[in-house]
Amino acid sequence: MENIIGLGPYLLVGAAFFLLATSFVIRKNIYYHIFSAIVSVMVFSISTYILIKIWNNQLLRYTFGGWKAPYGVEYRIDKLAAIVAFAFSITIFAIMLFSIEYYKEAKKNLAYYYVLLLGAFGGVLGTIYAGDLFHQYVIMEVLSVSIFGIAVFGKDSVNALKAVIKYSVFSSIASSLSFLGLVVIYYAVGTVNMEDFIKRLLTVRSINALTLTIGFALALVLYLFKSAIFPNHFWLPDLHSEAPTPVSALLSGVTIKVGLFVVVRYVYTLFPAFLGKSGMERVLLTLFIIGAATSFYGSMQLFLQRDIKRFLAYSSLVNVGMILMGISSNNVVGISAAIFLMISHSFGKSLLFILAGIVSDKAKSRDIEKLSAIFKSNRLLSAIYLVGLLQIGGVPPLGGFFSKFFIAMGFVREGQLFRLLLVLLVAIVSLVGYLWHYQRVSSGQHHETEKISIPIASYILTSFSAITGILGLRLFELIQLAVSELLQFR
């Protein structure tokens, strides 16, 4: 059963190629629906198995092709990776179910859509599990290429094409800089395996810290770009609003968090090995500044949006910025809260994009004023939408509250009151924006004929949003345990 540890990402990528090959023979959308659903169930089961198994072990490893690390590709799965992968697998499963429902009456061939969607899912899990920097980079590129394709699937608008071109061009630049950074790191240390990297730094004292700093700064460009962190935030509103609804849910609910997970790995696993205390302080201050800039920009934009999907896109900037601020806290409480926010935001934001998408399709408009009548006449849908807003807004008793509260407590613990005030200001301003937005979408005239069927995926994501609140403190304790082990790895 040990081989199952490395199966998830490669099962997804392999399934994508298998589906592509068989699509030339079997040209039925029902086949693509069923095949993709079965694969997503298998991967969710594997993620669950890994989470259960790892709680009895310090670490799980898997090497490919019999090549042992540091020479071969290694998955190095600790408790933190297992928790995040499991949570994202829930969101991914919900998005797959929604895709089936969303495209159930589609006339066009859906083979390429599911091929790219499975590839994207594989990229997400592979990036989280990767134990070496180069494989992490490669599998992240699998995710990127998949996004390039599915973000314009079925879209004929010029705006959608422009959004993808902008994203792909600047993503390629970021990717090139990141690859250059990995070359510099390998030149300086002679390895890209994370564990071997630390061992070599402990035994070799002649390594130039400045060279490594430059290498890692370049390597991080790709992941900060993918997370839409200032000043690389410019692509997100266009791409997230123009993509098909399931893809918008994937982009905002999952993929922008993956880059932030890598940031956690870099900063708290690798940086302490060659940066002194003052160097780490400068890095963490930089992360806080760009995180705060991202959040403040997103918060201000909330009050200027008429397009519901652009509103949700800008709200993602608020939360990824706050996640980065939590990562910069340099203590178990703050970092754990940032991870908890990744998870709670994943459930809430995917839920919101799914509901906003089906309402927009019904109204054939994304204008908030034109959608309000539909929300008004569908009270259950409106109530579920409110749950999503409260989740990302950090209102008790949902998980978003616990995560943002403990991010604030992380700065209290460090005695950083100015940073605490900035976090609270962002949280309050954005919450006002979310409540104002809900008042706008729910203030229309009631029309009995405008009834909408609520997708099963929405109920799944609503349930897990509630679970993050009901079991919030217990979940936070588990994440703290995982983060504590991560910091001990240093």
pLDDT at 7: 65
- The pTM of this model reads 0.93
pLDDT at 204: 65
**Residues 6+ away with beta carbon under 8 Å from 432:** none
Closest residue by Cα to residue 381 from 363, 406, 400: 363
Contacts of 196 (CB under 8 A, 6+ apart): 69, 70
- Cβ neighbours of 106 (radius 10 Å): 12
Q: Can you name the residues that pair with 74 across neighbouring β-strands? A: 63
In whole angstroms, how far apart are CA 167 and each of 15, 63, 325, 447?
26, 33, 24, 39
Contact 78, 339 (CB under 8 A): no
The strand ranges marked E within 79-157 are: none
Q: What value, to the nearest 5°, has the Cα angle with vertex 234 and ends 229 and 235?
A: 100
pLDDT at 447: 59
- Helix, strand, or coil (residue 59): coil
pLDDT at 450: 62
Amino acid code (one letter) for 447: H
Distant-in-sequence, close-in-space partners of 481: CB < 8 Å, separation ≥ 6: 79
| Domain positions in the chain | 276-490
pLDDT at 141: 92
Q: To 10 degrees, what angle do helices 209-226 and 256-265 make?
A: 160
Question: Which pLDDT score is estimated for 490?
Answer: 56
pLDDT (tens digit, 0 to 9) for every residue of the chain, 490 residues total? 555 555 677 788 888 899 999 988 888 889 999 999 999 999 899 899 888 888 877 677 777 766 676 777 788 888 999 999 999 999 999 999 999 999 987 777 888 999 999 999 999 999 999 888 998 999 999 999 999 889 888 777 788 889 999 999 999 999 999 999 999 999 888 888 888 888 887 776 667 778 888 999 999 999 999 999 998 889 999 999 888 999 999 999 999 999 999 999 999 988 887 887 888 899 999 999 999 999 999 999 999 999 999 999 999 999 999 999 999 998 999 999 999 999 999 999 999 999 999 999 888 889 888 888 888 888 899 999 999 999 999 999 999 999 999 999 999 988 899 999 999 999 999 999 999 999 998 876 655 556 788 999 999 999 999 999 999 899 999 999 999 988 876 5
